[in-house]
Amino acid sequence: MLTLLLMALAAAPISDSLDRGVSEELARERAEALSAVRYDLAFTVPVSRQQPVEGTLRLTVTLATPRRIVIDFSAPRERIRSVRVGDDAVVPQFVEDHLIIPAATTRSGDNRITIEFTAGDEALNRNDDFLYTLFVPARAHLTFPCFDQPDLKARYTLSLDVPAGWETVANGPEAGRETSGDRIHVRFGETRPLPTYLFGFVAGKFSIERATRNGRQMRMFHRETDAAKVARNRDALFDLHASALAWLEDYTAIPYPFEKLDFILIPSFQFGGMEHAGAILYNSASLMLDESATQNQLLNRASTIAHEAAHMWFGDLVTMRWFNDVWMKEVFANFMAAKIVNPSFPTVNHELRFLLSNYPDAYSVDRTAGTNPIRQTLTNLNDAGQLYGPIIYEKAPIVMRQLEMVVGERPFRDGLREYLKKYAFGNATWLDLIRILDAKTPDNLAAWSRAWVEERGRPEFTTGLRLTKNNTIQRLALTMNDPLRRGLVWPQRMRVTLGYADSQKELAVYANTRETVVREAAGMPRPLYVLPSGGGLGYGLFLLDEESIRYLLANMAHVGDALTRGAAWVTLWDNVLEGRVAPGAFIDGAIHALPDESDEQNTQRVLAYVSRAFWRYLPREERAARAPALEAALRAGIERANNTSLKSAWFSAFRDDVLTADGVSWLERIWRRDEKIPGLPFVETDEIDMAMELAVREAPGWQQILQTQLDRTQNPDRKARFAFVMPALSADPQVREQAFDRFRQLENRRREPWVAESLAYLNHPLREADAERFIRPGLELLAEIQRTGDIFFPSNWTASLLWGHRTPGAAAIVRDFLAQELAYPERLRWTVLSGADDLFRAAELSAR
Ligand SMILES: [Zn+2]
């Protein structure tokens, strides 16, 4: 069947239709037919960024039989200057963003294709005196003609012709250079096999630091002008790279796979880092730290470096076959980074950090009707951006930790070694890895992977506790349900915590069937609470029994360790959303417990939950009734906090949640600088936030407050942003309507964070009733927003549009929209369903 299909493809006429971007079908066809791909690339970079970058490509590719060769290149007709196959000039065919070399001009064996072209600027990140490429996930074809898919790995030979005084760095080592006049010509040695998204180069005015660690010379390219700052950071940066590489060589039993390692610090880089093989790019600000750097910043820096270093094996040496497995490389990089870095930061509660930075965000999507599996289908690389979200970033790490626990630490490492060795310099899928690991465990990993990775959603757990006459446990069991009724079971290691007056018992269980009996519990005294998410381990919705809920809400301060408390709060919040805990009772419990909370991570998380309960789940009258007590508790928290970051967390919660006239006027005095909070200095961004919160509350003189803040703001970017958001804060509904109508034009949506902030204020809970008129048109714009915006914009837009709404009427608008849009793209439908989850729940609770 497969062979027949491929023959049909090979025989297809060249006029065959081709999609824009790289479709899965095109990628498969090319991966089958093409081999031994080599790119010999030369770029000439002019001194002025207004002048185009010109390029020449000498492409070598081996064919089994003569056939058409489809090459990706954006706007090919305008940018191609000449094409030759061998020594013959060829007129290619142009379809969408492809150019097609006709079958008649090709032959079996090696084909040499020479293309002269003008490079597009979109992926070149050109600045006045430097540029850097960023081709992930499939943007190389915006710059040069190529096969822009991850499983056609190729060797690259690069030469760059740049203005004198510029430095250059690329994946391969420098092989030679000539200077002539005001130009330098640099040649780089041929690389090992790489996918297009990992090929890259940087050119421009940079300073270079060099150091040797463990016998390896490394270079750091940077543009920092503060010499003291460079001197303070340079050794630490080289050391962090060296220790990460050494750790990874040991763990993988594979020496660093590339010829050399350089790293380049880019000002205002889009990401934290990008793992170009042998030439890692970083955001300069997160690596070059100030003297005042916090423990958290140091931990984040070390984690970023370890993450990118891990990619040299996970992603670069072995690459996913298709971008539906992009999550794998990201999860492995984080997983390794935690192993490498965490032991050097003993004062941080890493398990709590893992819990709070992954579970709540993963649940925020996985509990909704709009959730998606970790592994998704992807029919065209143009849509690769839509794969990203909390399921990849936050659920996948939880799943990977479970996998290691199920397989065992040693066998897991051995499995990874085997996988890296077997697929070195090639490609592999998630299923290839699962097959290797499956051989190392009696568990059925294919079934395990289906529930966790291939399907969407999370399990639902209930506990059954039976007591004997003399009040000891006769039987404790966990029941696991699939709320989507597919009969799935999510095998997982869990710890069930039994709470007593001044101690806890943690019982380890492996839940791999519908019912799991906690055998160890039998005979133990009756507990005050049962928490199946103990140790922050279990993943799912844990429906707590009433007695446990009551005890935890009243006595969280007596729960002995921070990790159990963190897990209990995350679980209690889920029970709020399920209607089993009243939002007001949750707020009371938090106010009662927080003064005794010793871990700042828990305080931050609980304050965020309180804010959500307050705005999204309390009816208006109850909100007003509870405001004085909440504000008093938050102000007490500000006073009590013994460090700046904790003080700031309490203050931010006050600023966002304040509702009473007294509270608002205190906030205003702070904003006017009439009153100070000892130990909490404010910077420009803090005052901007305060002014906006005052305005949306229509504090007396709100117009003057906004105008004063605009005048006060010094930083030009922040000033422009504030001016943009201002109309959304107006008390005049007509001004707000205009503020919304702006977003219909693409040019008014370019600054996406500005738009999201404006939209969120337009739909603030205090404007709920008036803002209902924005819901329908906001949803109607979503499809266009997805087409024209960045990858996270559709979900941010939806979240900002819906966060302030909680009525059944608002919920009906969303449901009606989805019901009428029958042909709505499935992924966008999911975005709406996820974004509307709180609204649906709140509406349902209020209708009860
Ligand atoms: Zn990464």
DSSP string of 681-714, one letter each residue: ---HHHHHHHHHHHHHTT-TTHHHHHHHHHHH--
Output DSSP code: residue 246: H
Distance 145 CA to ligand 1 centre (A): 25
Q: 11 pLDDT band (50/70/90 cuts)?
A: very low
Average pLDDT over residues 589-612: 96
Here the contacts of 463-468 (C-beta below 8 Å, separation 24 or greater) are: 463/496, 463/530, 463/532, 463/542, 463/544, 463/545, 465/530, 465/545, 467/526
Distance 745 CA to ligand 1 centre (A): 34
Q: Is the pLDDT of residue 445 over 50?
A: yes
Q: With the C-alpha atoms ordered 15, 16, 18, 22, is the resulting torsion angle positive or negative? A: negative
CA quadruple 29, 33, 38, 44: dihedral, nearest 10: -40
Place of tokens 């049909």: 8
- Interatomic CA distance for residues 779 and 792, integer angstroms: 16
Q: Tell me which residues have their CB within 5 A of the ion that is ligand 1.
A: 330, 333
Asked whether the whole model's pTM tops 0.85, one would answer yes
Q: Both tokens of residue 41?
A: 């690339």
Q: Phi and psi (nearest 5°) for 12?
A: -60, 145
Q: Are 561 and 596 in contact (CB under 8 A)?
A: no
Q: 226 pLDDT band (50/70/90 cuts)?
A: very high
Q: Is the pLDDT of residue 493 over 50?
A: yes
Single out the residue of 134, 150, 198 nearest to residue 423, CA to CA.
150
What does the pLDDT look like over 563-575, one tens digit per residue? 999 999 999 999 9
Average pLDDT over residues 692-709: 98
Distance 692 CA to ligand 1 centre (A): 35
Distance 113 CA to ligand 1 centre (A): 34
- Interatomic CA distance for residues 534 and 531, integer angstroms: 6
Report the relative pairing of strands 80-85 and 109-118 from DSSP bridges.
antiparallel
Average pLDDT over residues 283-312: 91
Distance 308 CA to ligand 1 centre (A): 6
Single out the residue of 542, 551, 630 nearest to residue 594, CA to CA.
630
Distance 170 CA to ligand 1 centre (A): 19
Q: Are 738 and 775 in contact (CB under 8 A)?
A: no
Q: Both tokens of residue 457?
A: 């959603």
Average pLDDT over residues 179-201: 98
Q: Is the pLDDT of residue 9 over 50?
A: no
Q: What b/e sequence results for 746-785 when a residue is b if at least 16 CB atoms lie within 10 Å of its CB, and e otherwise?
A: eeebeeeebbbbbbbbbbbbbbbeebbebbeebbebbeeb
Distance 329 CA to ligand 1 centre (A): 7
Q: Are 233 and 287 in contact (CB under 8 A)?
A: yes
Of 335-344, 563-572, 583-592, 668-677, the least confident = 335-344
Q: Both tokens of residue 237?
A: 């940066």
Percentage of residues in the chain with pLDDT exceeding 90?
90
Distance 193 CA to ligand 1 centre (A): 19
pLDDT of residue 13: 42
Average pLDDT over residues 673-687: 94
Q: Phi and psi (nearest 5°) for 219?
A: -125, 145
Distance 141 CA to ligand 1 centre (A): 21
Distance 200 CA to ligand 1 centre (A): 16
Q: Is the pLDDT of residue 8 over 50?
A: no
pLDDT of residue 16: 58
Distance 836 CA to ligand 1 centre (A): 29
Distance 760 CA to ligand 1 centre (A): 30
The mean predicted confidence, pLDDT, of the chain is: 94
Instruction: Classify residue 109 as exposed, middle or buried by CB count within 10 Å of its CB (0-12, 13-18, 19+).
Output: exposed
Q: Is the pLDDT of residue 438 over 60?
A: yes
Q: Is the pLDDT of residue 5 over 50?
A: no
Q: Both tokens of residue 642?
A: 């013994």
Distance 390 CA to ligand 1 centre (A): 14
Q: Are 140 and 197 in contact (CB under 8 A)?
A: yes
Q: Are 530 and 476 in contact (CB under 8 A)?
A: yes
pLDDT of residue 750: 85
Q: Are 410 and 50 in contact (CB under 8 A)?
A: no
